[in-house]
Amino acid sequence: TQLLEQSPQFLSIQEGENLTVYCNSSSVFSSLQWYRQEPGEGPVLLVTVVTGGEVKKLKRLTFQFGDARKDSSLHITAAQPGDTGLYLCARGSTLGRLYFGRGTQLTVWP
Amino acid sequence: EAGVAQSPRYKIIEKRQSVAFWCNPISGHATLYWYQQILGQGPKLLIQFQNNGVVDDSQLPKDRFSAERLKGVDSTLKIQPAKLEDSAVYLCASSLEWDSRSKNIQYFGAGTRLSVL
């Protein structure tokens, strides 16, 4: 059973477009992490959000944690081909392990 | 600072054969994780070590999978015998030390892509 639902599963857009991907859960979690995984590489941490309603920006990427701490979104402005990759959300646990969603596979065409 | 090293990068075997993967975590990282990532899915934890002790192996198929971290540094993950459904990328990750107050930042290696024919 997937504890984190990510949508959409696939997204294919042209360079310069904006996009939003979502991560939802029926459970409340204390923090959530977003990772990007490029082909042939391991996931790389982008951001950790902790507080309900929190918004964090990383250049053209904007991360938001829902007020109820059950959902999160990642918005990319003016996407570039270098943004291509698998975007994963993950939540932690009391033992330290991470639970990942299935991810959103983003392709940005030049 | 060197990252998490994994080898081999790719492995192709036939079903019922054995295979082993190796991981060397970032120097000084006490916690080491092995994840399995099947195509189209997110990584799923197989086993977690704190130094040379097992913290969580609840998702490890112990009839065929084994892992060790004898000296609390590098680790090996073994599959014997392999099944078709074991085809996946096996990712190793490490973190400084697990702490309930920490943000548990894990650093991942590039993974080993296993194909079982």
Measured between CB atoms, which of B4, B45, B91 is closest to A97?
B45
Our count of domains for chain A comes to 1
Do residues A90 and A6 lie in contact, with contact meaning Cβ atoms separated by under 8 Å? no
Do residues A17 and A106 lie in contact, with contact meaning Cβ atoms separated by under 8 Å? no
Alpha carbon distance B65, B27 (integer Å): 26
pLDDT score for B63? 95
| Minimum Cα–Cα distance from A31: chain B residue | B103
Which residues neighbour A103 within 8 Å (Cβ) at sequence distance 6 or greater? A6, A9, A37, A86, A87, A88, B41, B42
What mean pLDDT is reported for chain B?
A: 92
DSSP A60: T
Which residues neighbour B79 within 8 Å (Cβ) at sequence distance 6 or greater? B18, B19, B20, B64, B65, B86, B114
| Minimum Cα–Cα distance from B109: chain A residue | A42
Mean pLDDT of the region A27-49: 92
Do residues A81 and A110 lie in contact, with contact meaning Cβ atoms separated by under 8 Å? yes
pLDDT in tens, A1-21: 448 999 999 999 999 999 999
The answer to whether residue B112 scores a pLDDT higher than 50 is: yes
Q: Is B24 on the interface with A (CB under 8 A)?
A: no
| Helix (H) or strand (E) run with residue A56 in it | strand A55-58
Q: Do B110 and A31 touch (CB under 8 A)?
A: no
Beta bridge partners of A7: A22
Alpha carbon distance B76, B111 (integer Å): 13
The answer to whether residue B97 scores a pLDDT higher than 90 is: no
Alpha carbon distance B108, B73 (integer Å): 15
* Better pLDDT: A102 or B105: A102
Alpha carbon distance A51, A72 (integer Å): 11
pLDDT in tens, B21-38: 999 999 989 999 999 999
Residues in chain A within 8 Å Cβ distance of B110: 40-42
Do residues B100 and B31 lie in contact, with contact meaning Cβ atoms separated by under 8 Å? no
Mean pLDDT of the region B65-84: 95
Mean pLDDT of the region A31-44: 93
Distance from CA of B81 to the nearest CA of A (A): 25
Residue type, A107: T
What are the structure tokens assigned to B95, written together?
Answer: 């973190």
The answer to whether residue A96 scores a pLDDT higher than 70 is: yes
Domain span at residue A66?
5-109
Alpha carbon distance B23, B32 (integer Å): 9
pLDDT score for B1? 64
* Better pLDDT: B100 or B31: B31
pLDDT score for B3? 93
What are the structure tokens assigned to B104, written together?
Answer: 């548990």
pLDDT score for B43? 95
Which of A65, A89, A95 best tests the B interface by mutation, with the highest count of B CBs <10 A?
A95
pLDDT in tens, A41-84: 999 999 999 888 999 999 999 999 998 889 999 999 999 999 99
Q: ∠ CA(B88), CA(B35), CA(B12), 5° rounding?
A: 30
pLDDT score for B105? 84
Residue B70's φ and ψ, nearest 5 degrees, are -60, -45
pLDDT score for A1? 44
pLDDT confidence bin for B102, thresholds 50/70/90 = low
DSSP B4: -
CATH number at residue A65: 2.60.40.10
Least confident of A39-43, B103-107, B110-114: B103-107
Which of B31, B104, B112, B114 best tests the A interface by mutation, with the highest count of A CBs <10 A?
B104
Tell me the CATH class for B5-94. Answer: mainly beta
Q: Do A96 and B103 touch (CB under 8 A)?
A: no
Distance from CA of A17 to the nearest CA of B (A): 24
